[in-house]
Structure 1
Amino acid sequence: MVRAAVLSAVNAPLRIAEIDLPDPGPGQVRIRLAAAGVCHSDLSLSNGTLRQPVPAVLGHEGAGTVTVVGEGVTDVAPGDQVVLNWAPACGDCHFCGLNEPWLCSASAAAATKPYAKLASDGTDLYPGLGTAVFAEETVVSARAVLPLPAGIPLTEAALLGCAVLTGYGAVNNSAKVRPGESVVVFGVGGVGLSVLQSARIATAGAGAVIAVDVSPAKEELARAAGATEFLVAAGDPSATAKQIRKLTGGHGADVAVECVGRADTIRTAWSATRRGGRTVVVGIGGQDQQVTFTALELFYFGRTLSGCVYGDSDPAVDLPVIAEHVRAGRLDLSSMVTEHIGLDGIPAAFDAMLAGKGGRALVVF
């Protein structure tokens, strides 16, 4: 039995409970977690913005050590340190055939099948986003683990599983930021901090990197991550866009990355992007968040608006590159973590995210 944070129903409070994990089946591995990041997507799963069968153990950003492997597993062995991959590609579907593994049709299948039981009464539990890392241990498909590159601390490596792969990918895969370009980032949470660091690297420090957040307290975090300018979001979205254009020679940013998932923020990011620029939406919003554009402006501004799933990343390709940035000191994982907590601290971390406080909270086992 292991301890886990269990979501009994949508919008129910998390409770710490003991769960029974099965032995790994064919093609599966058991992981002893070292740490798990608390991501806004976990909050979205808990409140129903994203669908998740319940009762469930949430958490999808984690790293740990392999303890047992099932039949047929050869890529990892007991004792290996790994990063969890919540969107493992099957390699066979239409999107994998297009070399777009982040859109894999089968990647979400694990989340719809029970994987463990409550120790108290045998109730089936579902794994949040297929990984269930808000627990001391988990059992996942061997495809859902990535060997941890050498030289990366295991605890901080948890951030690689979502925030860093998403932020790095948004800059380098989705927006394809070039040296000297200007970048504006909306939302200075865990993913936003990763976007800021990645933008600083991609622009070679030669372009303006502007951070926008509703909280003035985020300025220190943003500047430490590479922001050259920090703006507190104005009550009038058009005023924020006007400030950004003023900071970018009157044209607007070459690239805007939205990490909030709100209609008004997406609209502001679009308006703050120059003609011919790129607006990338990373934040996950609800179905009620409707964004509108006129046909004329779509033609006239010639901007590109794109969504971004998991940073449009192929983790097997991007993780070694990110690891090299970490080893070289260009990307600082520890600076993104503003709080270390236990499992019982997750509800407070959710509240902090709702209030716009802090960067990444990290559950350390």
Structure 2
Amino acid sequence: MKAAILREPGKPLEIGEVEIDEPGPREVKIKTKACGLCRSDLHFLDGVYPYPLPTVLGHEAAGVVTAVGSEVTHVQPGDHVVTFLAPSCGSCKLCQNGQFTLCQDPSMQRTPGTTPRLTIDGEPMAQFLNLSGFAEEMLVHENACVAIDKEMPMDRAALIGCSVVTGAGSVFNAARIKAGESIAIIGAGGIGLSAINAAKIAGAGEIVAIDPVESKRTMAEKMGATMTFDAIDENVVSQVIEATGGGVDHAIECVGKAVTAQLAWKVLRRGGAAVIVGMIAPGEMVEIHGPEFLQGKSVKGALMGAGHFMQDMPRLVAHYLGGRLDLDSVIAERISLDQINEGFDKLKSGESTRSVIMFD
């Protein structure tokens, strides 16, 4: 099959042939229909986060099931599905506590010494985050995909696989915002815009969007932000605190930088809570002055929206089909697999929200 291959960090992806195996007992083969370009992919592409190479990146994908293993029960050939990079076993202590995205049960991956899911030139290949979506096909554990309404357009469905489930989940599951509460979203990219939209659906009173790019602030207003601020303005913290009458109840950091995590903390009111969903690079430290904890504020991380994707993704599809979740505005362009490097260049520039690769 045709795929975009990462052989060396910092170098362009190579379009080439990769071999894919047939499904094992609990595996599902999927014909990829769409896959979004995510800033998380960029971290691995640039080598910020190390990963075994070569590999095929891509983790925000949707497609059609073409084959299933003998023990698969919840999807069947012909189903439209969204994939998920953090499958959960459902039975470990973390899953029993409802912390599904934190599950690390190794049984959902093929064990060392067995036939790998992906090979290149006859050699085993590392599968990226259980998926490897920048390819014409995917072979995943059954717990890494969920069937969705076939009325859902595939390009919008792909976004639900990462940016939407992360941004919306940070509001619905991690922050658990109540109607009338105020919230600040730092970063108005794909994740941030989804968080803004979710805050609107949840009935937030004030929705503050903070981003350095004017066009993204304009988009944030379209998605539901009630006020916007320039993230690089040296007075942005005082501006937000003044505009909200003492700070916000909740803040969601969607960028993945120490400075924006600290910004999320600073714009909180006394007793407010911050949620960090961005991938902060290894070695970066978030600084909080000790006495500030006496203000009753709190901060926590949330992986992939801290929810249960088997439930959350179909619900997000329903929100889109019901006209409540705006995914049409988030997609900046639709490209072919051959245009993937140009798409990542636009993502690096900070001007683009989401490029989506469309497969035949």
Any idea what SS the aligned residue of 1:179 has? coil
- Percent of aligned positions with the same letter in both sequences? 39
Q: CA deviation at 1:267?
A: 0.8
Q: How does 1:351-362 map to 2 (within 5 A)?
A: 351-362=345-356
Q: Indicate if the aligned counterparts of 2:157 and 2:317 stay in contact, CA closer than 8 A.
A: no
Q: How does 1:56-135 map to 2 (within 5 A)?
A: 56-106=55-105, 110=109, 114-118=116-120, 121-135=121-135
Distance 1:76 1:115 in 2: 19
Paired residues, number: 356
Aligned residue in 1 for 2:152: 152
Q: CA deviation at 1:345?
A: 2.3
Change in CA separation of 1:262 and 1:160 when aligned onto 2, cut-off 3 Å: same
Q: CA deviation at 1:311?
A: 0.4
Aligned residue in 1 for 2:42: 43
1:246 to 233, 242, 247: 242
Distance 1:321 1:21 in 2: 31
Opposite residue 274 of structure 1, the aligned amino acid is R
Structure 1, unaligned stretches of length 5 or more?
none
Distance 2:226 2:107 in 1: 38
Change in CA separation of 1:312 and 1:108 when aligned onto 2, cut-off 3 Å: farther
Change in CA separation of 1:329 and 1:111 when aligned onto 2, cut-off 3 Å: farther
Q: How does 1:191-270 map to 2 (within 5 A)?
A: 191-203=191-203, 207-236=205-234, 239-249=235-245, 251-270=246-265
Distance 1:246 1:111 in 2: 54
Distance 1:150 1:109 in 2: 26
1:297 to 282, 292, 300: 292
Distance 1:108 1:347 in 2: 34
Change in CA separation of 1:157 and 1:107 when aligned onto 2, cut-off 3 Å: farther
Q: CA deviation at 1:22?
A: 1.2
Deviation string, structure 1 residues 200-220 (Cα, Å, up to 9, x no partner):
11125xx12111111112122
Any idea what SS the aligned residue of 2:193 has? helix
TM-score, L = length of structure 2: 0.94
Q: CA deviation at 1:124?
A: 2.3
Distance 2:101 2:284 in 1: 23
Q: Indicate if the aligned counterparts of 1:43 and 1:350 stay in contact, CA closer than 8 A.
A: yes
Distance 1:172 1:348 in 2: 34
Opposite residue 218 of structure 1, the aligned amino acid is K
Q: Indicate if the aligned counterparts of 2:80 and 2:150 stay in contact, CA closer than 8 A.
A: no
Greater alpha carbon shift after TM alignment, 272-281 vs 323-332: 323-332
Opposite residue 127 of structure 1, the aligned amino acid is Q
Any idea what SS the aligned residue of 1:217 has? helix
Q: Indicate if the aligned counterparts of 1:59 and 1:134 stay in contact, CA closer than 8 A.
A: yes
Any idea what SS the aligned residue of 1:65 has? strand
Deviation string, structure 1 residues 302-333 (Cα, Å, up to 9, x no partner):
11101011100101222232222212211011
Any idea what SS the aligned residue of 1:162 has? helix
Distance 2:109 2:329 in 1: 32
Change in CA separation of 1:108 and 1:345 when aligned onto 2, cut-off 3 Å: farther
Distance 2:96 2:118 in 1: 32
Any idea what SS the aligned residue of 2:154 has? coil
